[in-house]
Amino acid sequence: MSTTTVSPAASPAASATAAGASRRRVRRRGRSSPLSRTVTHALLILASLAATAPVAWLIYLSLGPDKNDYLHPGGIASKAALTNYAFVLQHTNIVHWLASTLIVALGTALVGVAFAATTGYAVSRMRFPGHRPLMWVLLLTQAFPIAVLIVPMYEIFSELGLIDTYGALILVNCSTVVPYCAWLMKGYFDTVPVEIDEAGRVDGLSPFGTFVRLILPLARPGLAVAAFYSFVTAFGEVAFASTFLLDDDKYTFAVGLQTFVSEHDAQWNYMAATAVLIAVPVTAFFYLVQKHLVTGLTAGGTKG
């Protein structure tokens, strides 16, 4: 039953054009009238403009060589240059920031996935006393506001002399990333058929052997999504990084970008160029993996 006769009066989309078409029209299901199609496109174009304009504006501003060019955007087109990029690459700590960001983000992703994988498997396959409370804790820790942990963490890390180290930041990020990864991977392991485990056990593998040799290789896409999410979370983390990192050399991008704009001076042109340099690779990577993200997201919650 792929086609249905729709009387013009029954469909509001068609009723708009009903005046012109008094005869009964036969339309395929899912095809809409030209008017409704135009409206749909118009709305989507409008929304796309709203979604892209701020980003496009930043790229445009990054080409204006003077820090007050944002006040006279019309002038940028005639004197567009890449001088901001040259300045940022040569005279700021951007290379150090890149290194810090990569250390923190990759470290978080690695630790997050390594610690969470077995737990994801255990809560997906086994029922044991304490299963439900564990699931609750995993969920609840994702709802923790940063304000709860930041003060005691700061105290603890100052006592340990870990303030202004990458290790502290990786550990802090892990407090949110590890439970999230466990939750995400549980969702992924749920999609791997149980029969594979059973076959492994029948062939004499221990539960660990089954996990390492059979399930882990199959779950590689799930691990990749979890790792990517941990990476993005650590990459975009602002509060802890702004508080725990003191040395200009050790800033991550999220902190470094703030240094261009202070109360006294705002170097919007350099800020824009740095922002573009940061955003381009991350955004490109996001688009490459976004198809997988959507399936992963509905499996569990994530921290924004």
Partner 1 sequence: MTVAVESATARLPGERGRRPGPLQRLRRSWEKHWYAYAMIAPVVVVLGVLVGYPLVRGFYLTLTDANSLNSARTIGVNHIDATYTFIGLDNYRDILFGPTAYDRFWSHFVWTVVWTALCVLLHYTIGLGLALLLNRKMRGRTVYRLLLILPWAVPTFVTVFSWRVLLADSGALNQLLGHLHLPQPNWLEDTFWQRFAAVMVNTWCGVPFMMVSLLGGLQSIDTSLYEAAEMDGANAWQRFCHVTLPGLRSVSSTVVLLGVIWTFNQFNIIFLLFGQTSAPDAQILVTWAYRLGFGQQPRDYAQSAAYGVLLLSVLTVFTSVYFRWLKRNDQLAV
Shorter beta-carbon distance to partner 1: residue 21 or 46: 46
| Phi, psi torsion values for 266, nearest 5 degrees | -125, 110
The least distance separating partner 1 from the CB of residue 142, rounded to whole angstroms, comes to 7
The least distance separating partner 1 from the CB of residue 242, rounded to whole angstroms, comes to 8
Token pair belonging to 94: 């951007």
The least distance separating partner 1 from the CB of residue 81, rounded to whole angstroms, comes to 18
CB atoms within 10 A of CB 67: 17
Q: Where are the beta strands (DSSP E) in the chain?
A: none
Give the amino acid at 95.
Answer: V
| Phi, psi torsion values for 297, nearest 5 degrees | -65, -40
Shorter beta-carbon distance to partner 1: residue 135 or 224: 135
The least distance separating partner 1 from the CB of residue 83, rounded to whole angstroms, comes to 18
Token pair belonging to 13: 């989309």
The least distance separating partner 1 from the CB of residue 40, rounded to whole angstroms, comes to 5
The least distance separating partner 1 from the CB of residue 90, rounded to whole angstroms, comes to 21
Q: Which helix (H) or strand (E) holds 155?
A: helix 146-159
The least distance separating partner 1 from the CB of residue 141, rounded to whole angstroms, comes to 6
Helix, strand or coil, per DSSP, at residue 197 = helix
Q: What is the dihedral of CA 14, 20, 24, 29, to 10 degrees?
A: -30
Shorter beta-carbon distance to partner 1: residue 83 or 142: 142
Q: Which helix (H) or strand (E) holds 298?
A: helix 268-299
CA 234 to chain centre: 10
Find out whether 300 and 180 touch, Cβ atoms under 8 Å. Answer: yes
Shorter beta-carbon distance to partner 1: residue 224 or 289: 289
Q: Which residues contact 40 (CB under 8 A, 6 or more apart)?
A: 32
Shorter beta-carbon distance to partner 1: residue 47 or 81: 47
